[in-house]
Structure 1
Amino acid sequence: MKKPSPTRKRQHWAYAVGLAAGALSLSALVLPANDAWHRRGPMNTGHDQIQCPDCHQQAAGSYRQQIQANVRYLFGRREHPADFGKMAVANETCLDCHERPNDRHPVYRFLEPRFKKVRATLRPHLCVSCHQEHQGRRVVLGDSGYCVNCHKNTRLRNDPLDTPHARLIADKRWATCLGCHDFHGNHPIKTATRVAEAIRPEAIRAYFEGGPSPYGKDVRYPARKEKTHDE
């Protein structure tokens, strides 16, 4: 039997080393401790200790079944596409840590028929519409990008504010809303009665970007899995 040449031996060793290096690299990537290596982007403020499996659960069925289901969807034989690999992050995933009985804007409220148009554009019934992960921010919408959609016809019979809400709405001063109102109502703050005493829009904008909370560190319902002081 003819012995392999020195060149062939080196090729075999190179293949073996390459396969071993590839296997080790793949193993390192899938280790939970190395989740950060393949994340789409930086975690949002307060989510630094969350691991990928905490939010991304395995989709139902095998890969073959998931592919078959999506092929059926493409040919109109299935109403909805199937998740492939991992399930899409749903409201339930977020509410597992952030459910609050006193939420001023719970997601289910936006399922009412009167919010049909808003659902089609702003999608406020989905947590990830405002709190999209892997952006390194708390809120991905601007500080005046949503109040106008539901409150442009707001009228108060006994308005406690020194500048009436009707005047603020007429002047389109939507950036002032969160200066008095914590959107989810989770911070125990006293509502301002003077516009000049409201939290400045730039402070709220910095909070959205990941900065300290202008509403204070105290919260009524802390996140269940994360021990943060200004979620």
Structure 2
Amino acid sequence: MFKVSPLRKRQFLGGIIGLVLGVSLFYILTLDATEGYVSISPMNTGHNELSCFACHADAKGNLMQQVQSNISHAFGARDESVDFGTQDVTVNNCLQCHDRPNDRHPTYRFSEPRFKDAIKHIDATTCITCHSEHHEERVSVENINYCMNCHQDLKVENDPLDISHVQLIAKKAWNTCIQCHDFHGNHTYQVPEHLSDTIPMQKIQAYFEGGEDPYGMVKKYIALSQEEWLKTIENSK
């Protein structure tokens, strides 16, 4: 009679234990209660109450179908790969909560041909260029002189500023733009007429990193909460 060696028994038992632990761990990490352990790092300011699925929707098909499709793509039997696990986050995910009719710089505008050179330097067609998630801050873009990419020829009629916009542009003082104007134009506040009264850069930087809003708390449109977003999705069905 064929006898199984003690080593084979231990290997078989170890494999069974490993399989059970692997499946159990995979299941546990898919639970809502364990989202904090799955997230690659803390959520950005204002997104603290969002769950992962608010941005990371499940990819189409089951796990096996996704694996098979991507293997087929790797061997040239399929033209395109498919999302694995979850769908890629796109600008549409952001606009589900942040779509505002008064946006001074809506993402769709930068798809126009006249901005083709500007977006080579800063891709404003997508939110994550400036608001990359999981950095525990509001704005993740490194340099705030981005206005230079579109406004080199800006001229303001009856310019109210004591140091004109033309002069500031000539000096390449592009960092001063954000000291007067919030990029999306969603704050309700009085724009200063003296450069000395503008918001200090230290406060702007602190705001970008998640601190107090220097433009004030009065906004024209408030982003949807996850509950409001879910209701909107449900009502649209």
What TM-score bracket applies, with the shorter chain setting the length?
A: 0.7 to 0.9
- Contiguous gaps of at least 5 residues in structure 1: none
- Contiguous gaps of at least 5 residues in structure 2: 228-237
Report if the CA contact (8 A) 2:42-2:134 is conserved: yes
Work out the percentage of aligned pairs sharing the same amino acid.
Answer: 43
| 1-structure distance, mates of 2:21, 2:84 | 28
Shift, 1:104, TM fit: 0.8
The CA RMSD measured in Å over matched residues stands at 2.6
Shift, 1:183, TM fit: 0.8
* Deviations 1:119-178 (CA, angstroms, capped at 9, x unpaired): 223111111111111122211114523111111211122101011011111111111111
Assess, with a 3 A threshold, how the Cα gap between structure 1 residues 190 and 70 changes in structure 2: closer, same or farther: farther
1:42 aligns with 42
Report if the CA contact (8 A) 2:54-2:226 is conserved: no
* Deviations 1:183-205 (CA, angstroms, capped at 9, x unpaired): 11111111111111110111111
| Pairs within 5 Å for 1:35-74 | 35-61=35-61, 62-63=65-66, 64-69=68-73, 72=76
1:118 aligns with 118
* Deviations 1:78-135 (CA, angstroms, capped at 9, x unpaired): 4x65433322211111010011111111111212211011122311111111111112
Shift, 1:70, TM fit: 6.0
2:28 aligns with 28
Task: Report the secondary structure of 1:101's partner residue.
Answer: coil
Report if the CA contact (8 A) 1:98-1:224 is conserved: yes
* Deviations 1:44-66 (CA, angstroms, capped at 9, x unpaired): 11111212211112334531234
Report if the CA contact (8 A) 1:143-1:204 is conserved: no
Assess, with a 3 A threshold, how the Cα gap between structure 1 residues 166 and 226 changes in structure 2: closer, same or farther: farther
Which has the higher mean CA deviation after the structures are superposed, 27-36 or 175-184? Answer: 27-36
Which has the higher mean CA deviation after the structures are superposed, 94-103 or 24-33? Answer: 24-33
| 2-structure distance, mates of 1:15, 1:160 | 75
Task: Report the secondary structure of 1:26's partner residue.
Answer: helix
Q: TM-score, normalised by structure 1?
A: 0.84
Q: TM-score, normalised by structure 2?
A: 0.82
Assess, with a 3 A threshold, how the Cα gap between structure 1 residues 216 and 177 changes in structure 2: closer, same or farther: same
Assess, with a 3 A threshold, how the Cα gap between structure 1 residues 6 and 92 changes in structure 2: closer, same or farther: closer
